[in-house]
Chains A and B, each alone.
Chain A
């Protein structure tokens, strides 16, 4: 496992909910990342975010790690959930909230 893979692996294992995104939740740098942040905020869960624009290794590495070509990417309890389209579909169907409940992730403070 490459060093980048090991770093990513550690990030997704050490955080119940983690969003790999462009920019930060306060200042998203892409419409899709902005949408992903809004969805997580609506779910009311606590989450960690990783700004891939600040780390080129993670920006490339996460695409290989997840076998997913785009950013944002959401992980819950170490499992890849999807990008912003899937997050939106799941949110609208109530499935994302259900997943967060089932996984007993912490609420946003």
Chain B
């Protein structure tokens, strides 16, 4: 039940091509990450909707294969 950071980043970019993605491992176990995702696709959306876009990009892995992803989303300045 682990997932390399590069794979998470690739999945997010595939769904949100303009996204700036920064991923940091919280614990070095391939399972605990912090991600900051900045994308114009978030404009006008609530935080819940923004996070859901990222979860959708991860295609159901969130909460399963990927246990812990601390997520911050933002719209580009």
Contacts and interface: CB of A to CB of B under 8 A. Distances in A.
A25 interface: no
Interface in B7-34: none
Q: Is the interface of B mostly helix, strand, loop or mixed?
A: mixed
Contact of B48 (A69, A71, A86): A86
Given A69-B55, A85-B70, A90 B62 contact: no
Contacts of A31: 68
A93 to B, nearest CB: 10
Nearest to A63: B63
Contacts of B62: 69-70
Contacts of B52: 67-68
Contacts of B48: 68, 80-82, 86
B63 A69 contact: yes
A91 interface: no
B47 A90 contact: yes
Interface residues of A, number: 16
Contacts of A82: 47-48, 51
A19 B60 CA distance: 23
B8 to A, nearest CB: 14
A71 B71 CA distance: 13
Interface of B: 47-48, 51-52, 55, 60, 62-64, 68, 70-72
Interface of A: 31-32, 63, 67-71, 80-83, 85-86, 89-90
Q: Which 3 A-B pairs have the closest CB atoms?
A: A69-B63, A69-B62, A70-B63
10 contacts: A31-B68, A32-B68, A63-B63, A68-B48, A69-B64, A71-B63, A82-B48, A82-B51, A83-B51, A85-B51
